[in-house]
Amino acid sequence: VFPLVSVNQILLLLLVLTVCAILYNKVHQVPLALRNETVDLESPEEMEEEIPVVICAAAGRMGAAVAAISSIYSNTEARVLFYIVGLKTTIPHIRKWIENSKLKEIKFKVVEFNPMVLKGKIRQDASRPELLQPLNFVRFYLPLLIQKHEKVIYLDDDVIVQGDIQELYDTKLAPGHAAAFSDDCDLPSTHEMIRSVGMQNTYMGFLDYRKQAIRDLGISPSTCSFNPGVIVANMTEWKHQRITKQLEKWMQRNVEENLYSSTLGGGVATSPMLIVFYGKHSSINPMWHIRHLGWSPDARYSEQFLQEAKLLHWNGRYKPWDYPSVHTDLWENWFIPDPSGKFKLTRPDS
């Protein structure tokens, strides 16, 4: 029989060894992600990442924003955070629409845009007054509206998304580029549409080359333009390059010198971006921005081509919630009626 003191010593030794073993394992434990095991867990960074999507909700066309949001939400498993930008008078309507429809499940923030920031920066243009609506210029002010995100997607309201928005979000931006756009010369299948409806796809269609300030830019008038209705933006670069200030500078010069607002493109929001981002933007996959669907009530794409498209854009006068317009069935797939009954589709039999 061991003396009592010896047993106690053995027990104490065993306890010390156990504690040492536990501490050794803690210190030398291989991180879960480095073990040769398949682990069905996302890293905290991946779990936290949200895709911020900015869409405007303008009076008279809120159904457009709702359809765009509906199409994005229905076609992705990604965590999307919608920033819905409106004026003070329209915000209650869009909030009620979302909260009283199947979109109540989405994650969204409503952001009020103050049109006073545009005072003295917009030249009146009677030919396309709808292009002068304050929310057309929200894209100029993305860093002021969206604070915490490095990368942001901006979409015009007259789009629907048929692909997974994650794919668009993953668009690579070259170092030093604050934004990516779709070039207007990118897809041969769209060229026939452009020619048939007289749509401009070069800088000549947006800037007035009779003006010295435009000629001094040194941009060839035959340079391919891009469409800023779909933007993937890097907020750090945007702020670093003071993009908003540059855009405002060209808006003010246009007020003084009429550099672009009454030209064929009619692009009061497009033209400053064409100048500021000339030679300094990355490209979006062309299937992620099939446009000109609203340029004519007659010109149509092939159904097969539209089925393959990731994003459809009814830029132009002929909108899919109005009449006449083309390919309205593709848009109506995602439309959610207004619970308040204020917004109604215009159809030939209505």
Q: pLDDT per residue over 28-60, tens digit each?
A: 443 333 223 233 333 444 444 899 999 999 999
* Residue-level pLDDT at 201: 82
* Residue-level pLDDT at 42: 38
Say if 101 falls within a structural domain.
yes
Confidence of residue 194 (pLDDT cuts 50, 70, 90): low
The range of the structural domain enclosing residue 124 comes to 51-189+227-240+280-333
Say if 201 falls within a structural domain.
no
Confidence of residue 347 (pLDDT cuts 50, 70, 90): very high
In this predicted structure, the answer to whether residue 114 has a pLDDT above a threshold of 90 is: yes
Say if 71 falls within a structural domain.
yes
In this predicted structure, the answer to whether residue 238 has a pLDDT above a threshold of 60 is: yes
Confidence of residue 295 (pLDDT cuts 50, 70, 90): confident
Say if 10 falls within a structural domain.
no
Q: How far apart are CA 215 and CA 230, in angstroms?
A: 27
Please state the rounded mean pLDDT for residues 240-260: 95
Confidence of residue 252 (pLDDT cuts 50, 70, 90): very high
Across all residues in the chain, what is the average pLDDT? Answer: 86
In this predicted structure, the answer to whether residue 262 has a pLDDT above a threshold of 90 is: no
Say if 9 falls within a structural domain.
no
Say if 118 falls within a structural domain.
yes
- Which residue would you say has higher pLDDT here, 89 or 193? 89
Q: How many CA atoms lie within 13 A of 310 on its CB side?
A: 16
pTM of the model: 0.84
Say if 205 falls within a structural domain.
no
* Residue-level pLDDT at 46: 44
We report the CATH number of the domain holding residue 170 as: 3.90.550.10
Confidence of residue 23 (pLDDT cuts 50, 70, 90): low
Say if 204 falls within a structural domain.
no
User: For the segment 164-182, what is each residue's pLDDT rounded down to a tens digit?
Assistant: 999 999 999 999 999 999 9
Q: How far apart are CA 229 and CA 236, in angstroms?
A: 21
Question: What residues contact 228, with CB distance under 8 A and at least 6 apart?
Answer: 139, 154, 181, 269, 270, 273
* Residue-level pLDDT at 44: 40
Residue 165: CB atoms within 10 A of its CB come to 22
Total number of domains constituting the chain: 1
Of 69, 70, 94, residue with least CA distance to 343: 94
Please state the rounded mean pLDDT for residues 204-216: 93
